């Protein structure tokens, strides 16, 4: 794959989320999960999808069997394995046979490049290792469309004995490997070393496609991948969101963004970059992991502005962003906090369709209210629904659906059981109600009592569900008298929102966040504010 005669070569993107990424702590994909991710990676336009290691576990075998009947639109499916074992014929190695049986168009195998591992891990000789590489590549190369060779521990091996490390690559190239991938398996090589060594390899094996596979143990995986590409590599391996063993693999998200936007290199399908944020979030969801809001390019905070000076400049057209957020499918956010200025407040109001002049008394009063509440321990950055309600209340743009007069919670131990009962008193349309409900805990009981009182007047409340509950101590030095911040996440099936409550009493803080959550949901359904 090359570009026009006067252009730099196309960079191949090889995704190993389903194999190397699944080795990360806390990550476990089911067969169905793997199929969903594979289809999404294919839609996104990854050149290669490495699906797993046939023979290593039943799950991977089932995945490859299922994929035989699934035609990918763009991506080439790769199975993964190792060179044959020492001192046996390649045709007698069970895992080699499993690779052939997987019937994937691409097979990727790894072999040793570092004599330390050859002697200690394989318990064989450097000469036999070269034969293992040559035999395995030659055998598999005739049984797939492309054979990719991963040179494990290449950079450590090169630094220990560059001549032998090169011989390992030459053995694979001579046997017909499509690409030779230099692996920083320990993840400790620095970018300068990667750039220098990759350049030497590219000059010595100028007829071969060179790839890079970096790990993130030194926080350099992305930098190492880009350094290798600057030295002639045209094939980069990694995982979505940097999943992987230990500290993770090279994160393909910033790599492809940097290649397309910063380096103007050809990779991926046209239009794929705009789906980068959605891809990152999708894989997190399937892996059942909370998204890292600070991920470059795709994180929720990647284009969030909290400081008043920054927000003011952005609203005036000056940039504090290295790219247009929409290029990668992300969006700009103006955060509201005690650090915000009136420009942040008016800019945030504009997001909700409100025209607030930054110099108006309403804007300054709202900024004062935000500052006071944040001083008490509130944080509106992760609870924008509470901020929207605060804003609406400050400028008189909301009709409260109900008014909570008071509540009481009783927790009682009955033998081995703990019983929680909540009582709430509120008014709706001028009518006072007193309701009681039991629950698995104070928040559950309060939620039940509120719903019991409101359901007859607001039947739509049935579709509003609590999905998450977080508690954080604000001032830990106060010990048991410390303030706690409670954030509640809620959904109505179509959208979700977050609300916050703060108090020295955790149940009171929870009740504040819970009431805001219900009020926001009811008002939103009535056509008022919308986050």
Q: Is the pLDDT of residue 134 over 90?
A: yes
Outline where DSSP puts E strands in 398-479. Answer: 403-414, 417-428, 431-439, 465-473
The string of pLDDT tens digits covering residues 178-217 is 999 999 999 999 999 999 999 999 999 999 999 999 999 9
Taking the CA atoms of 166, 146, 28 and 472 in sequence, report the sign of the dihedral they define.
positive
pLDDT tens string 34-54 = 999 999 999 999 999 999 999
Inside any domain, residue 4: no
Are residues 280 and 311 both part of a single domain?
A: no
pLDDT at 381 > cutoff 70: no
Tell whether 175 is covered by a domain: yes
Same domain, residue pair 414 and 347: no
Percent of the chain past pLDDT 70, that is, above it, reads 88
Residue 5 has pLDDT above 50, yes or no: no
Q: Tell me, what DSSP letter sits at residue 410? A: E
What was the pLDDT predicted at 344? 59
What average pLDDT does this structure show over 478-496? 83
The pLDDT confidence band at residue 519, using thresholds 50, 70 and 90, is very high
Indicate if the pLDDT at residue 529 is higher than 90.
Answer: no
Question: For residue 127, with 0-12 CB atoms within 10 Å meaning exposed, 13-18 middle and 19 or more buried, which class applies?
Answer: exposed
Q: Tell me, yes or no, whether 308 and 265 share the same domain.
A: no
Question: Can you tell me the distance from the alpha carbon of 475 to that of 480, in angstroms, rounded to the nearest whole number?
Answer: 10
Distance between CA atoms of residues 108 and 149, nearest Å? 6
* Co-location of 433 and 506 in the same domain: yes
Is 413 within the bounds of a domain? yes
- Express each pLDDT in 22-32 by its tens digit: 999 999 999 99
pLDDT at 383 over 90: no
E strand or H helix that includes residue 70: none
For strands 403-414 and 417-428, give the pairing: antiparallel
CB of 206 closer than 8 Å to CB of 180: no
Query: Which of 254, 287, 320 corresponds to the end of one domain?
Result: 287
With b for 16 or more beta-carbon neighbours within 10 A and e for fewer, the 482-520 pattern comes to ebbbbbbbbebeeeebbbbbbbeebbbbbbbbbbbbbbb
Q: Is residue 182 located within the same domain as residue 212?
A: yes
Mind listing the pLDDT tens digit for each residue in 277-303?
A: 999 989 988 898 878 989 999 998 888
- 243 part of a folded domain: yes
Least confident span in 213-227, 300-314, 385-399, 411-425: 300-314
Average pLDDT in the 431-436 region? Answer: 94
Among candidate residues 124, 101, 99, the one with its CA nearest the CA of residue 110: 99
The mean pLDDT of 420-434, rounded to a whole number, is 94
pLDDT band at 530 (very low <50, low <70, confident <90, very high): very low
Asked whether the predicted pLDDT for residue 361 surpasses 80, the reply is no
Residue 338 is predicted with a pLDDT of: 44
Angle between helices 126-141 and 94-102 in degrees, nearest 10: 30
Q: How far is CA 265 from CA 230, 259, 326, 327, 449, in A?
A: 11, 5, 19, 15, 59
- Residue 297 inside a domain? The answer is no
Residue 478, domain member (yes or no): yes
- Average pLDDT over the chain reads 88
Give me the percent of the chain exceeding a pLDDT of 90: 66
Range of the domain at 317: 304-367
Q: Are residues 31 and 173 in the same domain?
A: yes
Across 84-105, average pLDDT:
96
In this structure, the answer to whether residues 309 and 260 fall within a common structural domain is: no
CATH code for the domain of 34: 3.20.20.70
The total domain count for the chain is 3
Domain assignment present for 398: no
Edge-to-edge strand order for the sheet containing 417-428? 403-414, 417-428, 431-439
Asked if residue 357 belongs to a domain, the reply is yes
Query: pLDDT band for position 4 (50/70/90)?
Result: very low
């Amino acid at each position: 794959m090359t570009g026009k005669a006067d252009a730099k070569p196309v960079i191949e993107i090889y995704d190993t989320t389903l194999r190397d990424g699944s080795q990360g702590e806390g990550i476990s994909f089911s067969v169905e999960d793997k199929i969903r991710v594979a289809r999404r990676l294919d839609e996104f336009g990854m050149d290669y999808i490495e699906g797993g290691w046939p023979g290593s576990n039943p799950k991977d075998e089932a995945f490859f069997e299922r994929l035989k009947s699934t035609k990918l639109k763009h991506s080439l499916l790769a199975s993964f394995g190792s060179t044959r074992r020492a001192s046996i014929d390649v045709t007698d190695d069970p895992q080699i046979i499993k690779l052939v049986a997987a019937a994937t168009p691409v097979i990727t195998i790894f072999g040793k490049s570092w004599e330390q591992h050859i002697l200690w891990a394989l318990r064989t000789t450097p000469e036999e290792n070269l034969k293992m590489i040559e035999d395995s590549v030659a055998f598999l190369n005739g049984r797939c469309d492309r054979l990719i060779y991963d040179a494990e521990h290449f950079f450590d091996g090169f630094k220990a004995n560059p001549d032998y490390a090169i011989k390992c690559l030459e053995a694979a190239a001579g046997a017909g490997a499509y690409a030779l991938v230099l692996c920083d398996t320990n993840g400790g090589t620095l970018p300068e070393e990667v750039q220098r060594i990759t350049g030497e390899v590219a000059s010595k094996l100028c007829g071969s496609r060179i790839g890079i596979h970096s790990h993130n143990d030194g926080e350099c995986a992305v930098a190492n991948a880009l350094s290798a590409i600057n030295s002639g590599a045209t094939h980069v391996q990694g995982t979505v969101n940097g999943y992987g063993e230990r500290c993770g693999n090279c994160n393909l998200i910033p790599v492809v963004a940097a290649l397309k936007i910063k380096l103007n290199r050809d990779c991926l399908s046209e239009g794929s970059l705009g789906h980068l944020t959605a891809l990152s979030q999708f894989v997190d969801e399937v892996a059942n992991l909370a998204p890292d809001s600070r991920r470059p390019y795709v994180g929720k905070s990647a284009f969030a502005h909290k400081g008043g000076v920054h927000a003011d400049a952005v609203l005036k057209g000056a940039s504090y962003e290295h790219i247009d957020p929409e290029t990668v499918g992300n969006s700009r956010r103006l955060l509201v906090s005690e650090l915000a200025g009136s420009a942040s407040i008016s800019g945030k109001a504009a997001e909700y369709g409100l025209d607030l002049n930054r110099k108006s008394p309403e804007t300054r009063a709202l900024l004062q209210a935000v500052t006071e509440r944040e001083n008490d321990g509130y944080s509106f950055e992760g609870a924008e629904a509470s901020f929207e309600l605060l804003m609406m209340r400050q400028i008189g743009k909301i009709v409260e659906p109900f008014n909570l007069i008071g509540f009481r919670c009783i927790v009682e131990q009955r033998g081995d059981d703990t019983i929680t009962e909540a009582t709430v008193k509120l008014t709706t349309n001028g009518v006072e109600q007193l309701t009681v409900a039991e629950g698995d805990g104070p928040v559950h009981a309060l939620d039940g009592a509120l719903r019991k009182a409101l359901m007859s007047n607001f039947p739509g409340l049935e579709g509003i569900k609590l999905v998450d509950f977080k508690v954080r101590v604000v001032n830990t030095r106060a010990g048991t008298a410390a303030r706690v911040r409670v954030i509640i996440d809620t959904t109505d099936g179509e959208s979700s929102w977050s609300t916050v409550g703060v108090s020295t009493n955790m149940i009171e803080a929870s009740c504040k966040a819970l009431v805001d959550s219900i009020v926001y949901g009811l008002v939103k359904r009535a056509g008022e504010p919308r986050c």
